[in-house]
Chains A and B, each alone.
Chain A
Amino acid sequence: MSRRAFRWLVLGAVIVFYAVPMLSMARFAFQRVPVVLLTWDTLFSRWTIEPLVEAVTSREFRRSAFATVRIALLTASVTLFVLMPVLVRARLAGRRLRRVVELSAIIPFVVPAIALVVGVSGIYREWTPWLLRSEYSLVPLYFVTALPFAYRTLDNGLAAIDLRTLLEAAQSLGQRHSGAVVRVILPNMWASVSTTFFLVCTVVLGEFTIASLLLKNTLPLYLAYAQGQDPQGAFGIGLLLTVVSAVFLAVSARVSGRLVGTGVVR
């Protein structure tokens, strides 16, 4: 076999492997024909988006969707508000603080979500149960979960600009400190800021382990629940969620020009 043919064989096989599960999910979600009755004749009959429409208009879906959006927006904002100043500070303050921050930002990698939940509920169930009762208890946990990716994206953004000169220039033009960050630094690293925002949202949109063990009603949990009640609608929403995260990731990859990965949703 020629090299060229071999190349396309590899690509073709992988493309089929990537495409088939997604197409199957789409068929299951949007075609009202059970697999048993599926033949070449019925392949194109009774396609409908009704199950998805019914599912997304249900009260349970809306409740968990709103909860997820609230948590996602809050987590993304907390991430930017807390992390940006820390990273600016770390860049200005010299090597030691930078190393500490860099190291601290990769710790979440070594604590799997399940281990994190075990520890968190071990502490807070005993001492401050009210803390875990609120749905917003997910916010700090998701901040921690998304930290390595947020850190990497924002730090790369900061590395690409001449922070010290920009701050000096802003100051000599009469800007105050916080104003300098908001009016000068942020616009200069808009790509990494928005990438961070979308990455954090993607994490929240897909995270299942922590939400499920703390019994928080987010979208992935709704999916798991709806799988038993209304499988067709649930699969439709699963597909929708996949598409939304794909768009977020594509936007992130495009604006930042980098290959991004989170890998925390499984």
Chain B
Amino acid sequence: MSPPRAAGSPIGWARRFVALWRPSLVAYAVLLGAFLIVPAGVVVLRGFDGGAGERSPMLEAVSGQYLGSFWYSIRLSALTAALGSIIGTGVAAVLVDLPEGSRSRQAMVGYSVVAANMGGIPLAFAFLSAFGVQGLVTKLLGTAGFDLIGNGFRITNFGGIALVYMYFQIPLMTLVMIPAFVGLRRQWRDAVSSLGGTRADYVRRVVLPVVTPSYVGGLLLLFANAFAAYATAFALSAGASRLVPVQIRFFLQGDTITGKTNLGYAMAAWMIIVMVAIIVVVRMLAARTEKWQ
């Protein structure tokens, strides 16, 4: 197809250009439909679809031992999100106080990018070799007279997994908060002091209102981050974890308990519902944050 040159308003030309690229739009829609939207839809539909005489799988998935799984996942996500967001924000505050070009600031931000993306098997390996029964830190603490294992710490149980998750939660929060802190303008501080305000006034009246939406958004992001995680916990505990995703795996591998046909789908559907709720709030908060940046 060769475009008639003379028919030349840029808009008309652009329209023809666009028509040529229709195949990619179709490909995009097909990929997204077949490998995301339809599977997610099927998960939700089957989650609601119990067999004859069964309780709705969606209800079954949040009762008994399965409810226990959800609580375990939620507690782990909430704890690591809360601690990670506080520490990560602290690190971000310290980093933005350093001069922008400083080596330590650049190195820390760079490593935060790396660590925030870490996870899965390699991270599990790293923590096993540090805090495992035969770990380096375990040994070091032992030499110093503190028996980590004897005090009930296992890298595979709740506290251990939480510790491992902190490795990506803290830097992720740092990355979320740095732009928020950088967005605080020097002039605002000067304006407060020229109006007779103190440093405390500046923090309370300017910093907190501007930074809070970012903080809450980051907190939720961290929660979602931990909630959806699977590989790290799986690698640490060889599949013995009580986390929801690890439980779902049982159903996927065909260990279906009779009479609970669609329970795996229902648990997955609940995960999607939680994630949707979080992302909707995050998007709303992000819209508010953008005002200041």
Residues of A within 8 A of B (CB): 7, 10-11, 14-15, 17-18, 20-25, 27-28, 34-36, 38, 81-86, 88-89, 92-93, 104, 106-123, 140-141, 143-144, 147, 164, 167-168, 171, 176-178, 180, 202, 206-209, 212-213, 220, 223-224, 227, 234-235, 238-239, 241-242, 245-246, 249-250, 253, 259-263, 265-266
Contacts and interface: CB of A to CB of B under 8 A. Distances in A.
A12 to B, nearest CB: 10
A213 to B, nearest CB: 6
B219 to A, nearest CB: 15
Nearest to A221: B121
Contact of A85 (B25, B104, B248, B269): B25
B137 interface: yes
A125 to B, nearest CB: 10
Given A112-B245, A115-B40, A209-B231, A245 B117 contact: yes
B24 A242 contact: no
8 contacts: A35-B138, A86-B28, A116-B36, A119-B38, A206-B122, A223-B121, A235-B125, A265-B117
B2 interface: yes
Nearest 4 Cβ contacts at the A-B interface:
A119-B39, A266-B119, A112-B228, A208-B231
Contacts, number: 279
B137 A20 contact: yes
Interface in B211-246: 224-225, 227-232, 234-235, 245
B127 interface: yes
A110 B276 contact: yes
Interface string B61-99: 000000000000000000000000001001100110100
Contacts of A85: 21, 24-25
B20 interface: yes
B46 interface: yes
Interface stretch (B50-58, B105-113, B188-196, B201-209): B105-113
A261 B234 CA distance: 22
A266 B136 contact: no
A107 B36 contact: yes
Contact of A144 (B16, B31, B119, B283): B31
B167 A122 contact: no
B37 interface: yes
Given A27-B136, A82-B31, A220-B120, A115 B272 contact: yes
Contact of B137 (A24, A83, A242): A24
Nearest to B251: A118
Contacts of A263: 116-117, 119, 168, 172, 225
A35 B130 CA distance: 10
A36 B36 contact: no
A141 B31 CA distance: 9
A114 B39 CA distance: 11
Interface in B123-156: 123, 125-127, 129-131, 134-139
Given A21-B129, A114-B249, A122-B43, A168 B13 contact: yes
A119 B39 CA distance: 4
B3 interface: yes
B134 A36 contact: yes
B279 A238 contact: no
A82 B143 CA distance: 57
A120 B15 CA distance: 36
B34 interface: yes
Contact of A141 (B35, B136, B268): B35
B119 A35 contact: no
A104 to B, nearest CB: 6
B70 to A, nearest CB: 13
B126 A119 contact: no
Contacts of B117: 202, 206, 245, 249, 260-263, 265
Candidate in B17, B46, B116 with the most chain A CB atoms within 10 angstroms: B17
Interface string B173-188: 0010011000000000
Interface string B5-20: 0000010011111101
A265 B39 contact: no
Contacts of A89: 18, 21, 24-25
A266 B231 contact: yes
